[in-house]
Structure 1
């Protein structure tokens, strides 16, 4: 820098003070501009040789033994000064921190004082308002008293007008002082002052509800304040109170209480807030959330605390909403008959139905056999509608045929004219008799040269089925699915039988039906084929079926078309279930989804408890028998996945029939749908193969199976699956040991040979003696030893066998107690592989 004379002024180069403004920020968003100066520390460089005469230099360099080698006095002095400067900076920083802390403490004290002042002002304002209200009340009472006294004085004045006139000037003058001014303010002045005070109090009360930024920021440190929502609720209550609105009366409800209930469901049934219910439970000492379950006794205390009534119900009461209701005769309308086609495998059941429907269903079935229950509707030439159920004929599908008979009205028993009555034919007859439904005999394949319908009729007599041609009451029709002969007569017989049955149902009620088949369809989810038995099932209905529930998302008829509703005797595919039901479950429509969910959960828990009780050994005898079975019986574990529920059950039933006292097949798990990674994990843990029937494994399951070495086998015909499992189970059977007698030898003499022991000199009396054969030593026809030969010699040579009539020497393994006259029995053992029948 230079002055006006051009001379430089004195100053530190680069170290002079530099000033400037800095914005300082405080809490709660307050700022302040502060003028600061920045000074640089001046470094003083000591003159050469100064360290020798100074105390520091003496201390630092006077003692060469304490100073590191190679450091000069100047360097040592510079280091000491640097240390001292650092300590001075630390002292300055500590002082600055103390000053800052003191400033912050003063700021906090100032805020607290402000907050206390505000609180004090607020309390004083409240006290003033209270005093003002009391003053107004006192004045109001005084004015009322004055008015009363005035009225009394007026009455007295009217009674004594003369006295009133004489006293009036004296009374008025008595209230005035000597100067002529009134003692109290005028009435108008008092009213104005009171209005001003009231307005100020009202303004204070109105503004006290507003929340300013300063109040919010200062309240953050002063303590907790009410939220804006709470203040709004308070203002709303004050407004309703000012309007004179009366709060609603509490509605007392009858709360149905099961043995256990979720907290949120309890609050919903009481129409109370979940938070209030949880708060009451916590006050009772139960730390629960809205998703936890509480027992009935605790829930009863809560219900009574909220002022409601308790209605105790058991778990099974949830099914009361689907109790059967008797229909009035006026509401009943005719419905189509449900006809089930039964018979032995390959007798032509599906072919007859194809000919009636003019369809080709057989070509779509694997192996040309029906493995699912098919439901179809057929309209005859006369306009009559018939519902047909086509059931499998193989023995494995007994349960499926049983369900078909339970939902049917008429059974058409198909018997091949060239094969007569077979085992599954007899079984179908028994199902029809058990279900107490009429039968119609369809004698098929009458177009074949070796057909003999009369033999069929005669064989049916053995099973108490007497056809009309044999003077009985069972209709019989000779048909041919190939040529179509006799099909019209068959339809006429079905229509006649349906007319005699007078089938009726009420379509104007909640639907009820039976699940014919169920499957897990990729893309559509769980799908159930349901035969509606009563009522009308509509799109959007909420229903429960077995352990599952759902809402009807779509209805698809037997032709694959979507329909809006399905009436009695109509088979439809139902979409919208939360899981795959069991074939044979009953579908019922409910009013609400909560009812359907409760019923499904109750049934699922009951089924789980039943399975657990069936699998548990409850007595000591059962435990001992189970342990004995586990030791003696070999098990072949398998996993089964099928495309539909009926096929899976049929396979499981077929597996249960495989085995004997030594070997059995154990189905670890069976289900519907594709083979998943969880199935592979279970199979690997159990060492079981996975059997897929008309299903495949997804990509992740295939990769996991390859990595873990789990076998996956695919089948489309049930015969092949049963045969393979039977062959695998046969491999677990222990081989049968068969003994074959080959000869006898008699001991003539006993010799002692060194390094060998006792050797028997024998004569082969029968058969042949072989060294590899087994031997038994007989003494007086009693077996005293069984083992193998150690040596077999003829003269001095070791030989493999000795024929009858020849002498030889024999020695036993680990046995020397042989005597002359003993007989040696020689035999061979053979292992025979066993198979399951």
Structure 2
């Protein structure tokens, strides 16, 4: 045996030993000594009995002399039985493996047959499609040949009158046969020339070969294969390559590469490649200008349609509704009037609710929207507006979205300032008015005085032969409520209020707030269409998708039709109260419109700041230097309240002091608000909101004052007091006496001393004095000394003589008059 890498080869003849090199991981090796021994083979003698078989034959006892030492007959028998069982088990396993192998072979054969059948069907379909294609081509070719023949016959000249005239020399046939000869000559080719136009395209059938049509093909083999592939895909219902569609691409002033590819319906990679070929390295998220985008659009074969940024709002449906699609809608009634005249109480009596009990201070400070179903089944939508002077913008918003204004006037209080303001709002909105004279159950009620006072503001009620309905009501006793509802129903019937519920929804935001658990929430009064859960909308500078709709009773609803007030959840930010909500078709449109409005508002603010000249800035800085400011940070529960507080703060102040709102917003007081207040040394005012834990801890550490209010006039009064503290105290002068100088003496160590006679009042040493000469003030100062005889005294009464010396002034003469006065500081208030 040959060496194997210098190692000894192991054999089986007799006991042999050798070294084996074992290899392990990481390059480790080990030499092992291996010894091999031959296996002893036991050969039975010719006369020996056979061993036990698997068939159950009894094993024969072996010769005890030939057994290994220490094995009994029973042990030997047991071993022989185990051997027989093992052989039987091995035979069964072999048979089972053979059966499984047969099943696998059958399964493979079945799959092969199915694949062959499928392939055969595929070939048959391809053959049918090919034959159909060939038949179509044959028909087309025959039609073209027939058309060519007709064209040749039509182009042949008319026969000569004299047919016997001989043909011209060199002509082999009459002239009228020339076209046919020319055709034949075109078909005949030199012998041995290569027929490039007769290349084989597709399979050549026997009929084509016999008829000679096989050599006239002009299409290449690859072209034929492509056509067959298209026909096969079309027959199998697959994608068929379509012609390029030329699109009108709307192009704004700036557009991202990805959006440009989307509008052209092209691959982004192709657009980026085209930009790179034009020397512009841009990714799909980068913005390119309109000129570059126009070049790319033209290269791709599309048409450019330039649009401006403001055109994004054109997707909002502003078309007039078809009169045939309009349906009746509930009227929107706004309840307005002076504070504490019973507006909310009257509405509670109509709704059988108790809203007043939950209002802080018993006054309404939020605009509320409710829907009431009358006994007749008619639906009425009520808007309850605050009557406090600070809520002017809220009342204006309520008047703008309303159909009917119910002016509530207390019979015991008559017309008040906010009543007049509500009348002006109703006139500006051009909506009809119904006067509800409330508190008629009180002993001091005088409804006629209310009617007379309204005449001063051009409101003439029906009782005074006017056209404005007036109803005497009482929210406490319920008197006149039915008459009020009848008057509203009559007015609504006259107005013939209609809307289209089947169009995209449009509504006005009555109120907006930031809820801790629900996020930004907007109270929306739907005006047109139907707002449904899942609608995508844009409202002011915000957009969103309707996550939930909640009605005035707190129940979730799936949709809200015209004149229905609902709370909308799902905004990405808190909108401004008064914004208009519009439903759009896609999320991209909503985001684009909101972004455009946000940028437009930002540019408008920046332009307003840039329009200020340097001279104006200097003048304003000089003016501000003389004005004391009280900075505050305001956080409120709803947008309308925040607006009302800011407007009230702007009215506080005069030429010397003013209130400056550093920041106002909706929601809880946060750590950011406290940080802003710390930078300016301002208090943080929370209206119906509280500070979170981190904001409270920061405020305690930094010493920032947090003030909480739930009634707006308490807030206004406290801010007024704080601003009044910045006013400089008013200094008032009070004249206490006159003295006339009789003589002037020179006293060593003192200077000139005037001998005076107190002619009126009293002279005090702590008082201020003025020196009058011929009734002209020539000096104002203080007394250095006041003596009577040689004693220093505090005051000298009228009619007595005294000596006076001025501080740092000695130009005194006889007959001069000394005016004596006292200064006192008086605190001022706004």
Q: TM-score normalised to the size of structure 1?
A: 0.70
1:413 to 407, 412, 435: 407
d(CA) in 2 for partners of 1:797 and 1:780?
Answer: 31
Name the residue aligned to 2:815: 821
Is the 2:21–2:29 contact (alpha carbons within 8 Å) kept by the matching residues of 1? no
Structure 2 residue 763 is matched with structure 1 residue 769: yes
Q: Deviations over 1:661-703 (max 9, x none)?
A: 2111111111110111111111111211111000011011111
Name the residue aligned to 1:732: 726
The correspondence of residues 632-671 of structure 1 with structure 2, limited to 5 A, is 632-671=626-665
1:701 to 691, 695, 706: 695
Name the residue aligned to 1:195: none
Q: Deviations over 1:566-591 (max 9, x none)?
A: 11111111111111111111111101
1:789 to 773, 783, 788: 783
Is the 1:680–1:704 contact (alpha carbons within 8 Å) kept by the matching residues of 2? yes
- Residue 414 to residue 34, structure 1, CA distance change in 2 (3 Å): same
Name the residue aligned to 1:485: 479
Name the residue aligned to 1:611: 605
d(CA) in 2 for partners of 1:349 and 1:314?
Answer: 48
Shift of 1:829: 0.9
Is the 2:342–2:410 contact (alpha carbons within 8 Å) kept by the matching residues of 1? yes
Name the residue aligned to 1:719: 713
SS at the partner of 1:768? strand
Name the residue aligned to 2:209: none
- Residue 345 to residue 540, structure 1, CA distance change in 2 (3 Å): same
Name the residue aligned to 1:554: 548
Is the 2:334–2:406 contact (alpha carbons within 8 Å) kept by the matching residues of 1? yes
Is the 1:513–1:530 contact (alpha carbons within 8 Å) kept by the matching residues of 2? yes
Is the 1:617–1:623 contact (alpha carbons within 8 Å) kept by the matching residues of 2? no
Name the residue aligned to 2:295: 301
- Residue 295 to residue 784, structure 1, CA distance change in 2 (3 Å): farther
Is the 1:24–1:34 contact (alpha carbons within 8 Å) kept by the matching residues of 2? no
Shift of 1:620: 5.4
SS at the partner of 2:375? coil
Name the residue aligned to 1:123: none
- Residue 305 to residue 600, structure 1, CA distance change in 2 (3 Å): same
Name the residue aligned to 1:341: 335
Is the 1:508–1:535 contact (alpha carbons within 8 Å) kept by the matching residues of 2? yes
Q: Deviations over 1:244-270 (max 9, x none)?
A: 799665444333222223343333333
Is the 2:549–2:557 contact (alpha carbons within 8 Å) kept by the matching residues of 1? yes
Is the 2:513–2:639 contact (alpha carbons within 8 Å) kept by the matching residues of 1? yes
What is the aligned residue count? 618
Shift of 1:504: 0.6
The correspondence of residues 282-301 of structure 1 with structure 2, limited to 5 A, is 288-301=282-295
d(CA) in 1 for partners of 2:630 and 2:227?
Answer: 79
Structure 2 residue 374 is matched with structure 1 residue 380: yes
Shift of 1:346: 1.0
d(CA) in 1 for partners of 2:317 and 2:791?
Answer: 94
d(CA) in 2 for partners of 1:311 and 1:734?
Answer: 66
The correspondence of residues 492-641 of structure 1 with structure 2, limited to 5 A, is 492-616=486-610, 618-619=612-613, 622-641=616-635
Is the 2:741–2:818 contact (alpha carbons within 8 Å) kept by the matching residues of 1? yes
- Residue 301 to residue 707, structure 1, CA distance change in 2 (3 Å): farther
Name the residue aligned to 1:441: 435
d(CA) in 2 for partners of 1:419 and 1:243?
Answer: 92
d(CA) in 1 for partners of 2:373 and 2:241?
Answer: 65
d(CA) in 1 for partners of 2:227 and 2:743?
Answer: 130
Moved more, 580-589 or 738-747: 738-747
d(CA) in 1 for partners of 2:784 and 2:277?
Answer: 90
d(CA) in 1 for partners of 2:305 and 2:512?
Answer: 38
Moved more, 361-370 or 607-616: 607-616
d(CA) in 2 for partners of 1:34 and 1:784?
Answer: 125
Name the residue aligned to 2:459: 465
Q: Structure 2: which 5+ residue stretches go unaligned? A: 1-19, 32-189, 196-224, 234-239
Moved more, 581-590 or 818-827: 818-827
Shift of 1:280: 4.9
Shift of 1:731: 1.0
Is the 1:442–1:477 contact (alpha carbons within 8 Å) kept by the matching residues of 2? yes
Name the residue aligned to 1:431: 425
Q: Deviations over 1:166-209 (max 9, x none)?
A: xxxxxxxxxxxxxxxxxxxxxxxxxxxxxxxxxxxxxxxxxxxx
d(CA) in 2 for partners of 1:533 and 1:311?
Answer: 34
d(CA) in 2 for partners of 1:23 and 1:284?
Answer: 62
The correspondence of residues 130-279 of structure 1 with structure 2, limited to 5 A, is 249-278=243-272
Structure 2 residue 802 is matched with structure 1 residue 808: yes
- Residue 817 to residue 463, structure 1, CA distance change in 2 (3 Å): same
Is the 1:527–1:575 contact (alpha carbons within 8 Å) kept by the matching residues of 2? yes
Shift of 1:752: 3.2
Shift of 1:715: 0.4
Considering only aligned residues, what root-mean-square deviation do their CA atoms show, in Å?
2.9
d(CA) in 1 for partners of 2:192 and 2:391?
Answer: 109
Name the residue aligned to 1:222: none
SS at the partner of 1:647? helix
Q: Deviations over 1:302-349 (max 9, x none)?
A: 433444333221111111111411111110111111111111111111
Is the 2:325–2:500 contact (alpha carbons within 8 Å) kept by the matching residues of 1? yes
Q: Structure 1: which 5+ residue stretches go unaligned? A: 1-18, 26-30, 36-146, 153-238
- Residue 744 to residue 277, structure 1, CA distance change in 2 (3 Å): farther
SS at the partner of 1:760? strand
- Residue 34 to residue 418, structure 1, CA distance change in 2 (3 Å): same
Q: Deviations over 1:725-752 (max 9, x none)?
A: 1111111111111111112222233333
d(CA) in 1 for partners of 2:766 and 2:275?
Answer: 85
Q: TM-score normalised to the size of structure 2?
A: 0.70
The correspondence of residues 30-69 of structure 1 with structure 2, limited to 5 A, is none
SS at the partner of 2:744? strand
d(CA) in 2 for partners of 1:527 and 1:384?
Answer: 28
d(CA) in 1 for partners of 2:194 and 2:301?
Answer: 54
Structure 2 residue 346 is matched with structure 1 residue 367: no
SS at the partner of 2:577? coil
d(CA) in 1 for partners of 2:356 and 2:242?
Answer: 70
d(CA) in 2 for partners of 1:578 and 1:533?
Answer: 22
2:679 to 676, 682, 685: 685
Q: Deviations over 1:395-422 (max 9, x none)?
A: 1111111111111111111111111111
Shift of 1:828: 0.9
1:833 to 818, 827, 830: 827
d(CA) in 1 for partners of 2:427 and 2:292?
Answer: 53
Is the 2:317–2:504 contact (alpha carbons within 8 Å) kept by the matching residues of 1? no
